[in-house]
Amino acid sequence: MPRPMTITEKILAAHAGLDEVAPGQLIECDLDLVLANDVTAPIAIKEFAKIGVERVWDPAKIALVPDHYTPNKDIKSAEQAKMMRVFARAQEITHYYEVGCMGVEHALLPEQGVVGAGDVIIGADSHTCTYGALGAFATGVGSTDAAVGMATGRAWFKVPESIKFSITGQLKPGVGAKDIILHIIGMIGVDGALYQAMEFTGDTIERLDMAGRMTICNMAIEAGGKSGIIAVDDTTRAYMEGRSERPWTEYFSDASAVYARTYEIDAATIVPTVAFPHLPSNTRPVSEARDVKIDQVVIGSCTNGRYEDMAEAAAVIKGHTVHPDVRLIVIPATQQVFRDMMHNGLTDIFMDAGAAVSTPTCGPCLGGHMGILAAGERALATTNRNFVGRMGDPTSEVYLAGPAVAAASAVLGRIGLPEDLEEGGQS
């Protein structure tokens, strides 16, 4: 009988052709998808050329998404995108997304059904862990590893230990998925799950929609996690049915599986949370941050750029006007999100409030373009990182929060809660 295993261990064992695996074991796995973007793909393409193979292992199992500096910011970014484009055409890559049909990769690929439950996915981007929300093992790798994956369809892994986060009970009104993951990162630190699989369970997680689950798994890397993962349930199946381009496989942790640690979290203890500079773990309740004035708000990214995030922010900002000292930039994560926003009136709500609404791009999240901060400026963003200089000048600051807090703060001119709008902006 195989040893009791976690969901992560089962997925890796299956892809290594083994009956069982254990933490610390070195294994070679078959891959279901290799992905890269306009920052990391050019490096991978150059390394691929050194391997000595002429064709990728499977053009249907590689995804190239130009999203970081696109639409092209400058000549250098245009050359990066061109290298991807030429390679994708020469190799007949199925999942290449040009401007006009692209999106932020970690929102686009689930939306398009390219990733699914039971997959092993590597991506030359640290937030590849997002796809764990679908019950997949997904992790970020370097561009060289991505090149080898494109050539061989295989990758080496050290089987990670798993940590279980059991979140149970009802969330307080105004508390969402971003608050859950910021709460966890603040609790364990930015290296609290270093090279470990973060498994999220409990009835609170089960009640989250797929957008919320992706937000949580997306930020596993901000705690040092090798991956984040949530077991498949009816919500997952409903999301994948009709969109998944191939059959999926469901795995579940054994009741007696061994975890490095288990955290029991009462959902009622989680409050609207903001991460102060310069670490995602530097968290405080939003109620204690009301004296922080801001210059810019960004709503978007692979963390919170899905339609549900946009709807949450629009519901808060509707009927209000962006503070005159604040620039509000709204970036839907995919073309479909952008289209749904327009058809359902969300774009009008944001524009009526005085926001700029952009085509899909990672843009300002990494200090790319369309929202760079000047010296001393502060931004509140629904993004995932707030390191020194992350969004611009090294003396600028980035604060992280969820969509509702971001929308309210854009109106208030300072970090605040939606209920502060009803109180005339008083704290």
Residues 233-292: tens digit of each pLDDT: 999 999 999 999 999 999 999 999 999 999 999 999 999 999 999 999 999 999 999 999
User: Given this model, what pLDDT does residue 365 score?
Assistant: 86
Q: How confident is the model at residue 427 (pLDDT cuts 50, 70, 90)?
A: very low
Mean residue pLDDT across the chain: 95
Within 177-270, residue ranges assigned H as helices are: 177-188, 203-206, 210-218, 234-240
Mean pLDDT, residues 36-46: 95
Task: Please write the tens of the pLDDT for every residue from 363-411.
Answer: 998 888 899 999 999 999 999 999 989 989 999 999 999 999 999 999 9
Does residue 424 have a pLDDT over 80?
no
Domains within the chain, CATH numbers bracketed: 7-264 (3.30.499.10), 274-418 (3.30.499.10)
Dmax (CA) for the chain in angstroms is 66
Sheet holding 196-201, edge to edge: 227-229, 196-201, 161-168, 261-266
- Distance, CA of 64 to CA of 34 (rounded, Å): 9
DSSP state at residue 209: -
Three-state DSSP at 277 gives: coil
Q: How many CB atoms lie within 10 A of CB 206?
A: 16
Residue 174 has pLDDT above 80, yes or no: yes
- DSSP secondary structure letter of residue 306: S
- Look at residues 287, 366, 409, 306 and name the one whose alpha carbon lies nearest to residue 126: 366
**CA 259 to chain centroid:** 24
Q: Helix or strand or coil: residue 171?
A: coil
How far apart (Å, rounded) are the C-alpha atoms in residues 223 and 221? Answer: 5
| pTM for the structure as a whole | 0.93
Does the pLDDT value for residue 7 go beyond 70? yes
Closest by Cα among 259, 30, 38 to 122: 30
pLDDT band at 101 (very low <50, low <70, confident <90, very high): confident
300 sits in which H/E element: strand 296-300
- CA neighbor of 315 nearest in space, from 233, 213, 424, 421: 421
Mean pLDDT of 122-130: 96
How many residues can be counted in the chain? 427
pLDDT of residue 423: 65
